[in-house]
Amino acid sequence: MNYAELQCASHFSFLRGASSCEELFSQAAVCGLDALAITDRNSLAGIVRAHVAAKVTGVRLIVGCRLVLTDGSEVLVYLMGRAEANERLLPLAARHADQ
């Protein structure tokens, strides 16, 4: 199957996601998904566990984040590379983490 779920919240998204990264990637492998994006709300907290789960299951991890902006709108942001995480997404997530 050539399918990637691009919008998935782990239990690190309080009141939005209930499953651990291990559970999410295990189920993604059972369903035959090629990739899974973890897009927790204003946080990258689940990415380390998602990375480990992705390695174990063979399902590719897509690193993302759901940012809630000051006007209440939401935007999904996906990383293109490791440098981008350090330079762009981490500061944005930290700025919106209190919301």
Q: Which amino acid is at 19?
A: S
CA 81 vs CA 51, 68, 86, 98: distances in Å: 14, 22, 9, 26
Global model pTM greater than 0.85: no
pLDDT digits (tens, 9 = 90+) for 2-46: 889 999 999 988 878 889 999 999 999 999 999 999 999 988 888
pLDDT digits (tens, 9 = 90+) for 46-98: 899 999 999 999 999 999 989 888 898 998 888 876 665 556 666 766 666 65
